[in-house]
Amino acid sequence: MKFQAKTKASDKIPTASMPDIIFMLLIFFMVTTVLRTYEGLNVLLPQARKIERLETKRHVAHIFLTKDGLISIDDKIVPTDNVKHIMYEKRVADPQLIVSLKADRNSVMELINELHSELREADALKVNYSAKTAP
C-alpha cells in the first residue's frame, strides 16, 4: 500500500519580499558610502580681480604648494626633485593634462620658479594658477 502526501512541498523560492530587501540594501549603501573629497594641503590662495573657471575638471592635476615648502600632487607629498618624473608620467597618460597650481600667498617665489621649471621639463606646459576673488 502506497501513501500519498496531502501537501506537496514547493521547490520555488518566494520572491515577494525581494524588492523590499533590494531597497533596504540600496538605502544602506547610499547612507554608508562616503564620497572622496579632495583634501590637499592647507593653502591660503592669493586674491585676484578677475578669475576664469576651468571648463572641465576631468584632465586636471592639482599641485599644492605651502608657505613651508611642502609640495603635494594629487594628495601625495613629494619632494621637488620628483615633480618632473611624476608629472611626466601623468602627461604621458593624459596628453590633455592641465596643471592646477595652488600656491600659498606667502610661499617663496624661488620655490614657485623651481616648480615651474620642473613642470616645463616634464612638458606640462598648461598651468593654471588658482586664486580667490577679491572682495
Domains of the chain with CATH codes: 47-133 (3.30.420.270)
Report residue 63: phi and psi, to 5°.
-120, 120
Nearest to 80 by CA among 105, 109, 112, 39: 112
pLDDT value of position 28: 93
For residue 135, what pLDDT is reported? Answer: 64
**3-class DSSP assignment, residue 17:** coil
pTM for this prediction:
0.64
Which of 129, 13, 135 shows the shortest CA–CA distance to 64?
A: 129
Report the half-sphere exposure of 58 (CA within 13 A, side-chain side).
5
Give the strands of the sheet with 98-103, arranged side by side.
Answer: 76-78, 71-73, 60-65, 98-103, 127-129
Q: What is the DSSP letter of 67?
A: T
Which helix (H) or strand (E) is 5 found in, with range?
none
Residue 83 clears pLDDT 80, i.e. is over it: yes
Q: Tell me: the pLDDT tens digits for 22-56?
A: 999 999 999 888 876 666 677 767 777 777 777 77
